[in-house]
Amino acid sequence: MNYLKNKFLTTQSILILLLFSIIAITILSPIASNNYLPTEGDFKYHVAAIVEATNALHEKQFPIRIAPWQSKGLRNPFFQFYSPLPFTIAAVITLLGQFKNTFISYQVTLFGFLIFAAVYMFRLSKQLTSSTSIGILTGIVYITAPYLLININNRGDFTEAIAQCLIPALVYYNYVIFKNPFKIQAIFLCILCWTALILSHMITFVYTSLFLGLFFIILTSKNSFSANRLFLLGFIYVYSLILTAWFLVPILTTVNKLNINSQIFNPYQFSWLTTLPSLFSIAAVSPRPSPTELKIPLYLSIGWPILFAISMNIFFIFQSSLLKNKLTKTPVIASLIVIFIAIVATWSPINFWSYLPKYLTITQFSYRLLTQTMWLGCILFSFALLELFSKLDARHVIAGIVLLGMSCSSWLMTTDSGLTRALNFTEHPEITAGETNYLENPIELYHYGISLKNIEAAFITSHYFLKLNQPIFLPTNNFLNVPNQQLVLKGHVNKKIRLPVILTFKLGDHSVSQKIESENVEWTIPIAKFIPQTPNDFVMAQIDINTLLASEAIHIDSLRLINPESTPVLPMQTTKKYCQQHGTLIHCMIDVSTQTFVQLPIFYYDKLLKITVNGEAVSYLPSLSFQNFVLAGVKLEAGRYQIDAEFVGCGWANWVSLAGGIFLLLAGSIFLIRPYIHNHA
């Protein structure tokens, strides 16, 4: 107990925690209202995901993979592909605090991680400089960096902000191990930090891996004796990949088939957001004259404390006679080299992104590299203060806090809260734009050689409105080389629409139209006549309407692709009536009178689902449903069947992660009890 008291409960440590807590509260002030959600940014997106993570825990999912309520309950594996850890933590806080309003959990989680980041940047700085005062100021510099403030208060990027708050601990433990490879506790905690970063934000993980790796490679090049320590850091990194194999392997094997693959673009397109004057600005200013296309105040900058640190360290490097601490020269040079690369990449004055491997463009926006300037800049900030001041006391710290508060104040701006009540939204949450990001794309499935044309396709089975300038797009790989095929549309015209209306089907340069003169619509489109003109590749067919009214012109009851030679389909809308949810399992009892393709109420993912028919595992096929969702299904002969379906991820990767976790737990337990055994031997 005395050991714990001396280590954790000193008056100084309590005061430092209190200081960081007050600053964290200040940082969150623009989103302090629990009643309203800001309208712009990704606030709603992430609050909805916290609700779904809470629902996933209610289903006893661990780790969480499925967002149960999204996509009409079709088992959307949102968390399998996107940041499960931050949402799990926020969901646990929701359950422990019994919060009905999950925006409170959102705020509490950010508050805790801001303190965590400040404490570990304090510890890193103290490790580098042996100064408590410098450590306090450096911790504040990190959590008040402009880009972190923008992510928290403007962009609403919950997961990236959490990842940014993990980096100080990650850098700290890597540095401690690099200096002393026999710190066993640090090795365990470093593995956990890498694991947490992977499960929090993939973009931040990828670029932190590159820049932190480069930092230690440069340090090693100056000290050849530390090469073995670099291998140890590499082993820790690989072990974290083993622990997260359950998460990473499905991403790596399916990412090219997902909708989000189409959202990966060259970051150079948005380099106008990170012009050099903007990056060097000491206040929040727009990168272009107002008004711009920016919906949120995305005023990106490195921040003057870090710019000050860079300039001072450059000065001391070139005026080496003034350098008081010669041992700091190597880490300063390493930090300057890496931060220079980070700044140039963020600025992107030329389109070098086109020459990089495609996976590096997952950053989407070059401004995300500002995260790397934060931790590197804080290292330089610590060394700059060490060189400028022989000793800092409480007066210097107070003055420094005031100056740092002034430097970040213009980024603490009020956001537009709109009229969205947080409590009402959390009762009916929708992830909206992100809901379909991690679903299989029928176009990509076609290019990967997965055919959907041998079964009847139920494109739309109920409740869809055809509107002006919003045509229905159909993937025509279903049409290719299939004779006697017909597209049958059934529905009715909105009573407010003046008849007649003209429906048009287009495929390539060819089209056919139908005049609708009654409220009831039934149109059979002879697809076969278009097949000879259809190119041997994927093209889009579309159905459009020529009414001047944009609201709900035709209510479509069904749109089906029928081929006399194909297997008839039992659509998901019908199948779902005979299915029940049992935890993570979908349990269906189905009767079919003839050979039928049964479309199941679960999204299709190749080799990531477990589907059994009457207790035996079976192969499954993809099929198209409404809104071009790709659902899993099975072909059945006449009879009565019990079908169970579940998203399980990659089986072998799950076992690898489990084995790695058990080994780490056992090794950690042995490490913890060894001193006790030694003392009582």
Q: For residue range 217-232, what is the model confidence (pLDDT) as tens digits? A: 998 887 766 788 899 9
**Using CA atoms, how far apart are residues 618 and 635, in angstroms rounded to an integer?**
10
Helices then strands, each counted (H, E), the chain:
22, 18
Collect the ranges in the chain with pLDDT lower than 70: 1-9, 224-225, 289-295, 320-328, 415-419, 433, 442-484, 507-509, 528-553, 561-566, 626-628, 675-681
Q: What is the pLDDT of residue 535?
A: 42
Q: What is the pLDDT of residue 10?
A: 84
Instruction: Give kind and range of the element (H or E) at residue 125.
Output: helix 102-129
Classified as helix, coil or strand, 501 is strand
Asked if 41 and 57 touch (Cβ cutoff 8 Å), the reply is no
Q: What is the pLDDT of residue 327?
A: 56
Q: Shortest CA distance to 268 belongs to which of 342, 351, 343?
A: 351
Q: What is the pLDDT of residue 527?
A: 73
Classified as helix, coil or strand, 171 is helix
Q: Which letter does DSSP use for residue 271 in this model?
A: G
Number of Cβ atoms within 10 Å of the Cβ of 340: 14
Q: What is the pLDDT of residue 548?
A: 46
Q: Shortest CA distance to 380 belongs to which of 335, 411, 330, 414?
A: 335
What angle (nearest 5°) sits at the alpha carbon of residue 247, between those of residues 246 and 253? 95
Sequential DSSP letters for 646-680: EE---HHHHHHHHHHHHHHHHHHHHHHHHHHHHHT
Strands 616-617 and 609-613: antiparallel
Q: What is the pLDDT of residue 544?
A: 57
Q: What is the pLDDT of residue 504?
A: 78
159 to 110, 163, 198, 203, 294: CA distances (angstroms): 10, 6, 11, 10, 21
**Using CA atoms, how far apart are residues 432 and 417, in angstroms rounded to an integer?**
18
Asked if 555 and 455 touch (Cβ cutoff 8 Å), the reply is no
Q: What is the pLDDT of residue 242?
A: 98
Number of Cβ atoms within 10 Å of the Cβ of 385: 24
Q: Is the bond into 475 cis (omega within 30 degrees of 0)?
A: no
- Per-residue buried b or exposed e for 637-664, using 16+ beta carbons within 10 Å of the residue's own CB: eeeeeebbbbbbbbeebbebbeebeeeb
Q: What pLDDT, in 10s, does the model give residues 521-561?
A: 888 887 766 655 444 443 445 555 555 444 456 777 777 76
What angle (nearest 5°) sits at the alpha carbon of residue 678, between those of residues 676 and 681? 105
> Whole-prediction pTM value?
0.85
What angle (nearest 5°) sits at the alpha carbon of residue 650, between those of residues 647 and 654? 105
Radius of gyration of the chain (CA): 29
